[in-house]
């Protein structure tokens, strides 16, 4: 799916989204799940084609072998396979969607949503120049986005943040995301961001640098938020106990599914730590579930839950739209949205059916 504009991060430029969707065909009806792995293993070790293969060879056979599978069984059945959380999450979501549709219950209701709409933030890529960045941010604010996240990397940090803060004022909710582009030796640059009253600095250091994030947290005043480092509720517990972060970006794909994502929400709430819902340039399928999760009570910061048109001219479902800076939580059974058949067909490059043995 072509993106409406290139999206540059510290690890690369995305111009299109290569999407892997999982459809679970069950006796009670279909369910859908979106795998958030990107086409290349640059954000994390998983990638879309690899996820398709691990589902086909190792994950789906375990579910088929188990026979009658309920959503709460999926993670346990897939546990013997190490890692591959994004692939596992897509399967669990498809099973959960089918199960909820059969029961007439929405994702939001099942997960424990307490809001019917969620405030929307937007993630703004690294640009060629500060004027281009200011134009992009102005455009998003005109559309009503309530929080801006700037992607940063060494060389595109303090000046970019200063320019946005000066142009749009102190009331703008502003945060940054480095996607692991810095080391502890850059602490001075990261501390310079303290002047700009940011909500948080997301994943400044490498994903396996929990201890160093804890050291960095002693050197900067801005709260540290972890994304790539948190792959499970256990990781979240360790990070909070170590003081490696005060805030967690919850991405259901990264942590193996919506049920584990909810556990992280519950754990963070018990710790008094804030969570917010991250994004992986999802289509309407993944977005529907993210928006439902973001409506839980502990999601107290706006998420990367933007409207469909921030990413795609044509979404695979009816588009999610921004209303007064918010996105509505779907209320229909399951995800509450489904792929539009002819749109899906026009975008599909390959389909593999895995028949139950």
CB 320 within 8 A of CB 292: no
Residue among 280, 345, 294 at smallest CA distance from 316: 345
Report residue 315 as tokens. Answer: 């979404």
Residue span binding Mg ion (CB under 5 A) among the ranges 79-87, 136-144, 173-181, 328-336? 173-181
Residues of this chain, 273-302, that bind ligand SMG according to CB under 6 A: 278-281
304 binds ligand SMG (CB under 6 A): yes
Q: Rounded to whole angstroms, how far apart are CA atoms 182 and 11?
A: 12
- Measured N-to-C along each axis, helices 258-271 and 233-242 cross at an angle, to the nearest 10 degrees, of 20
- 251 is a catalytic site residue: yes
Nearest residue (CB) to ligand SMG, 119 versus 278: 278
Rg of the chain over Cα atoms, rounded to whole angstroms, equals 20
Q: Report the residue from 209, 227, 235, 315 that binds Mg ion according to the rule CB under 5 A.
A: 227
- Judged by CB under 5 A, how many residues of this single chain contact Mg ion? 3
- Answer for which of 10, 93, 123, 229 binds ligand SMG (CB under 6 A) is 123
93 vs 179, beta carbon nearer ligand SMG = 179
> What size, in residues, is the chain?
357
Neighbours of 77 (CB within 10 A): 17
Residue 157 contacts which entry, ligand SMG, Mg ion, none (Cβ below 5-8 A, type-dependent): none
Please choose, out of 53-61, 70-78, 184-192, 272-280, the segment that lies near ligand SMG by the rule CB under 6 A: 272-280
Residue 234 a catalytic site member: no
Give 178-228 as a DSSP string: -TT---GGGHHHHHHGGGG--S-EE--S-TT-HHHHHHHHHH-SSPEEEST
306, 312, 322, 326: residue in contact with ligand SMG (rule CB under 6 A): 306
> Binds 267, which of Mg ion, ligand SMG, none (CB < 5 to 8 A, cut-off by type)?
none
Asked whether position 14 contacts ligand SMG by CB under 6 A, the answer is: yes
Q: Provide the β-strand partners of residue 225.
A: 202, 247
Residue 123 binding target from Mg ion, ligand SMG, none, CB below 5 to 8 Å by type: ligand SMG
Nearest to 260 by CA among 229, 293, 295: 293
User: Is-contact 292 108, C-beta < 8 A?
Assistant: yes
Q: Does 209 bind Mg ion (CB under 5 A)?
A: no
Looking at beta carbons only, is 280 or 335 nearer to ligand SMG? 280
Which active-site residues does the annotation give?
151, 251
**List of residues contacting ligand SMG (CB under 6 A):** 7, 9, 14, 43, 123, 177, 179, 227, 278-281, 304, 306
């Amino acid at each position: 799916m072509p993106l409406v504009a290139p999206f540059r991060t510290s690890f690369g430029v995305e111009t299109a989204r290569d999407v892997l969707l999982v459809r679970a065909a069950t006796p009670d009806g279909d369910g859908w799940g979106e795998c958030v792995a990107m086409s290349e293993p640059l954000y994390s070790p998983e990638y879309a084609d690899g996820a398709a293969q691990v589902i086909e060879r190792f994950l789906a056979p375990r579910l088929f072998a188990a026979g009658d599978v309920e959503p709460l069984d999926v993670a346990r059945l897939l546990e013997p396979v190490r890692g591959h959380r994004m692939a596992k999450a897509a399967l669990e979501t498809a099973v959960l969607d089918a199960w909820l549709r059969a029961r007439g219950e929405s994702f939001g209701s099942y997960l424990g949503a307490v809001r019917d709409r969620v405030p929307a933030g937007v993630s703004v890529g690294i640009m060629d120049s500060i004027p281009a960045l200011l134009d992009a941010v102005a455009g998003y604010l005109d559309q009503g986005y309530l929080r801006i996240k700037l992607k940063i990397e060494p060389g595109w940090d303090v000046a970019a943040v200063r320019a946005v803060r000066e142009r749009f004022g102190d009331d703008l909710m502003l945060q940054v995301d480095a996607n692991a582009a810095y080391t502890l030796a850059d602490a001075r640059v990261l501390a310079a961001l303290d002047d700009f009253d940011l909500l948080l600095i997301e994943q400044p250091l490498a994903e396996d640098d929990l201890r160093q994030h804890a050291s960095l947290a002693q050197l900067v005043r801005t709260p540290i938020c972890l994304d790539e480092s948190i792959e499970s509720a256990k990781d979240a517990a360790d990070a909070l106990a170590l003081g490696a972060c005060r805030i967690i970006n919850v991405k259901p794909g990264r942590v193996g599914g919506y049920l584990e994502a909810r556990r992280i929400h519950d754990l963070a709430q018990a710790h008094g730590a804030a969570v917010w819902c991250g994004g992986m340039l999802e289509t309407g399928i993944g977005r529907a579930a993210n928006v439902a999760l973001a409506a839980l009570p502990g999601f107290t910061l706006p998420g990367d839950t933007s409207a469909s048109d921030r990413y795609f001219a044509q979404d695979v479902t009816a588009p999610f739209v921004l209303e007064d800076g918010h996105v509505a939580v779907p209320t229909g059974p399951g995800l509450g949205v489904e792929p539009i058949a002819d749109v899906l067909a026009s975008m599909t490059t390959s389909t593999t059916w895995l028949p139950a043995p």
